[in-house]
Structure 1
Amino acid sequence: MKIYRKPFASEPLFPFEFVYRDKKSPERELPDHLHDQYEFFYVYMGKAAFFIDQKLYDIKAGDLLLVPGNSIHRSFQDPQDPVTSTAVFFAPGFASSGDIGEPYNSLRCFELARKRKHYRLELDEPLRLATEEAMERIRDELANQAVGYRHAVSLLLQQWLLLINRHVNSAMDKDANESGIGPQWMKDILHYIATHPDADLGLAALARHASVTAAHFSRVFKQITGMNVTDYVNAKRIVLAKEQLLGTDDNVSLIAERCGFESLPHFHRVFKKLTGTTPAGYRRG
C-alpha cells in the first residue's frame, strides 16, 4: 500500500482549507496519508477508528483530533454509523500573530500532542460549543467573502487555538494513561521504529524483536496501522529526513544514512515517491 500525499489547492498567501460538516463513508475515505499542513478533525456524530503515528483511537461525538504536519494518519469508518466531521487544514505561519512580547506559541497543542504521542482531545461541553461556533463563523466568512474575510478567518483560527492551548495541559494529562492501541508488543514496536530509524526494520527483524511470528506480526500491524511494514517504515524515515533537511545543514548522504536508507539512490527514489520532489528540492523550498 502506498502512502498518499494529500494535495491542497489553497493559495500560498492564504494556506487554509476547510471541509465543513462532511458525512464520511468507508468508500470515500482516504488511505494512509500525510501532508505538510496542520489539521484539526472534529467529530459531530458517528463512530470511527482513527490511526495517527503510533496510536489508534476509537473516536466519537465531541472528539477533536490534532494532526501535526507530516504525521501518517487515516480513519476507518464504521459502515453502520460513519462520522460527520469538520476538517481544518492550515500552514503553521497562518496561525501566528507574530512576536508581540509574550512567550506564546499558537501551535503548542500540536507540539505537545506529537511529544506525548497523544492526539485526541475529548472536549467538555463549553469547549465543544466554542469549537462548533468557531467553525460556523469560519464557514460564514468563507461563504460571504466580505472585505477582510481572510483576516477574519486567521483571527478566528488564532482565537480557537488559544482556547485549545489553554485547555490542552489538563486534558492531555488526564488522558495520558490511555493505551490507545492494541497489544503491548505493538506499542513497543512502533516506539522502536520511531526511535531506531537506522536499525534493521524489515518484517523478519521486527517480528523477532517482538517475539511473535512474522505472519502474526504482519496481520496485527496491518490491522492497527492500515499499512504494511515497508510502507510504514519508509514513511516514518522520510518524515525524519524532511525534519533534518530543514533543521540542519548536514549533507543529503549523511541524512540518508542516519534515517536508515541503504544507499543514496534508494533514499532519492523513496523521497521522490512520497513527496513528489527531491531531497535537495525540498530543502530549497
Structure 2
Amino acid sequence: MLENGLLYEQGYSVNINTPGDPLFYYFDYDERSHNINMEFQHDHDFYEIHILMDSRATHVIDGKIHALRQYDIVLLRPYLLHMTQYPEGPPHKRLIINFAMPASTPGLENAYKSMLLPFAEEIPIYRLTGEPRSAVFDPLNTIFTQSHNSSALNPVLVHTLFQQFLCALSQQQDKNSYVLEEAGSANAQKIYSITAYIHSNYSSELSLDSISREFFISPYYLSHQFRIVTGSTLTEYIQTTRVRKAQHLLVHTRHKISGIAEQCGFTSFSQFNRIFNKLSGMSPSAFRKQQALPGSTPALLSY
C-alpha cells in the first residue's frame, strides 16, 4: 500500500445484501482498460463512489467530462448520468462502491443529510492529500482488512465503518483541491451534452433534426460526430436510452406495459415491442417476469 493510499486486491469484492434492499454495500476491487470502456452513460437508483487507484482517467458526469488523477474520489448520487473512460495502455486499478442506506433513521435525519451533502455538489469529485486523505481512507482500509480476517463479516461493522468514511469525507470539504481540468475534445464535450439532453428528454419526440435545431448544429455534423464519440448512431442511442428506462420501470413499478411504452417515448406499442425485443432479447412481459424470479437482482454497473 502506498502511503495515504488504499489497500487493494484485484478481483476482490465485499457484499452486504443486494440492490433494492434498504441497506446494501458492494465493494468492487478490480481493474479496467481502454478496450472495455463503456459507450453509454448510465444511472441507477443507488449511490456510487469511484476511486481511481492509478495515474489518470476521465469521468463523464451528466454530459460533462472531468479529468481524474490517482486517488480522486468521484461521488455519484442516484440517477446521475455517468461513465468512466480509461486511457489506452495497461489496465487501471479502481475501487467501485455501490451502496444504499435507509431513507431516514429516527433522531439522525439531519446527520445523515449532512453526511451525504458532498454527493450534491456541482462537481462531486474530491482530491485529498496527506492526513486528510488518510482520515478518509482509513475506514475503507479497515473494511478491507476485516473482510479478509472474518469468515462471516458483520454487516453492522461494515455500516459503521462506512459511515465513518462518509463523515470524514464531509469534514474534509475545505481540504478538497480538485479543480476542473480540460478533458476531451470540444467535439466530445458537445456530444456528451447531447447525450445528457437525450437522457433528460427521452419521453419527448427526439430526432436528428430536432436535436440539431436544439444545439444549433447541422444534422450531418451531429450524425457524423455522434458516432465517432459514442460508437453508436443517434437513433441507436435514443432507442437504447428508452429501453433502459423501460427496463427500470418494468422492474420497479407495476405500471401497465402499454403505459410504460408511452412514458418512455415510443410512438406505438408495436414499435416498443419490436425495439425492446431487439435490444433485450425478450419481450417486455418476459423481462418483467424474469426479474421477478427469486434470486434475480439487477446487474451492478461497475466500471
Task: Decide: shared fold, TM above 0.5.
Answer: yes
**1:45 aligned counterpart, secondary structure:** coil
Matches within 5 A, 1:184-203: 186=191, 189-203=194-208
Q: 1:204 to 1:275 in 2, by over 3 A?
A: same
Match for residue 56 of structure 1 among 40, 45, 65: 65
Tell me how far 1:140 sits from its aligned partner.
0.9
- Tell me, in whole angstroms, the C-alpha distance in 2 between the residues paired with 1:16 and 1:27: 28
Q: 1:137 to 1:223 in 2, by over 3 A?
A: farther
State which structure, 1 or 2, has the greater radius of gyration over its C-alpha atoms: 2
**2:169 aligned counterpart, secondary structure:** helix
- Tell me, in whole angstroms, the C-alpha distance in 2 between the residues paired with 1:231 and 1:128: 42
Q: 1:30 to 1:207 in 2, by over 3 A?
A: closer
- Tell me, in whole angstroms, the C-alpha distance in 1 between the residues paired with 2:86 and 2:59: 8
Q: Do structure 1's residue 143 and structure 2's residue 148 form an aligned pair?
A: yes
Q: Identify the residue that residue 54 of structure 2 maps to in structure 1.
A: 45
Q: Identify the residue that residue 33 of structure 2 maps to in structure 1.
A: 25
Matches within 5 A, 1:198-213: 198-213=203-218
Q: 1:54 to 1:28 in 2, by over 3 A?
A: closer
Q: 1:133 to 1:228 in 2, by over 3 A?
A: farther
Q: Identify the residue that residue 100 of structure 1 maps to in structure 2.
A: 107
Q: 1:262 to 1:49 in 2, by over 3 A?
A: same
- Unaligned 5+ segments in structure 2 are 1-13, 298-303
**1:206 aligned counterpart, secondary structure:** helix
| Residues 48 and 97 in structure 2, CA contact (< 8 A), matched pair in contact too | yes
**Once superposed, what is the RMSD of the aligned Cα atoms?**
4.4
Which amino acid is the alignment partner of residue 151 of structure 1? V
Q: How high is the sequence identity, in percent, across the aligned residues?
A: 23
Deviations 1:236-265 (A, max 9, x none): 445655777789886553443233122234
TM-score between both structures, scaled by the size of structure 2: 0.65
- Unaligned 5+ segments in structure 1 are 1-7
Q: Identify the residue that residue 5 of structure 1 maps to in structure 2.
A: none
Q: Do structure 1's residue 256 and structure 2's residue 261 form an aligned pair?
A: yes
Q: Identify the residue that residue 300 of structure 2 maps to in structure 1.
A: none
**2:206 aligned counterpart, secondary structure:** coil
**1:212 aligned counterpart, secondary structure:** coil
Tell me how far 1:154 sits from its aligned partner.
1.7
Q: Identify the residue that residue 159 of structure 2 maps to in structure 1.
A: 154
Q: Identify the residue that residue 74 of structure 1 maps to in structure 2.
A: 83
Tell me how far 1:133 sits from its aligned partner.
2.0
Which amino acid is the alignment partner of residue 135 of structure 2? A
Tell me how far 1:107 sits from its aligned partner.
4.6
Q: 1:28 to 1:233 in 2, by over 3 A?
A: closer
TM-score between both structures, scaled by the size of structure 1: 0.69
Q: Do structure 1's residue 65 and structure 2's residue 74 form an aligned pair?
A: yes
Number of paired residues?
269
**2:106 aligned counterpart, secondary structure:** coil
Q: 1:28 to 1:180 in 2, by over 3 A?
A: closer
Matches within 5 A, 1:213-232: 213-225=218-230, 227-232=232-237
Q: 1:76 to 1:263 in 2, by over 3 A?
A: same
- Tell me, in whole angstroms, the C-alpha distance in 1 between the residues paired with 2:66 and 2:171: 23
**1:98 aligned counterpart, secondary structure:** coil
Q: 1:221 to 1:59 in 2, by over 3 A?
A: farther
When structure 1 is superposed on structure 2, of 27-36 and 40-49 the one drifting more is 27-36
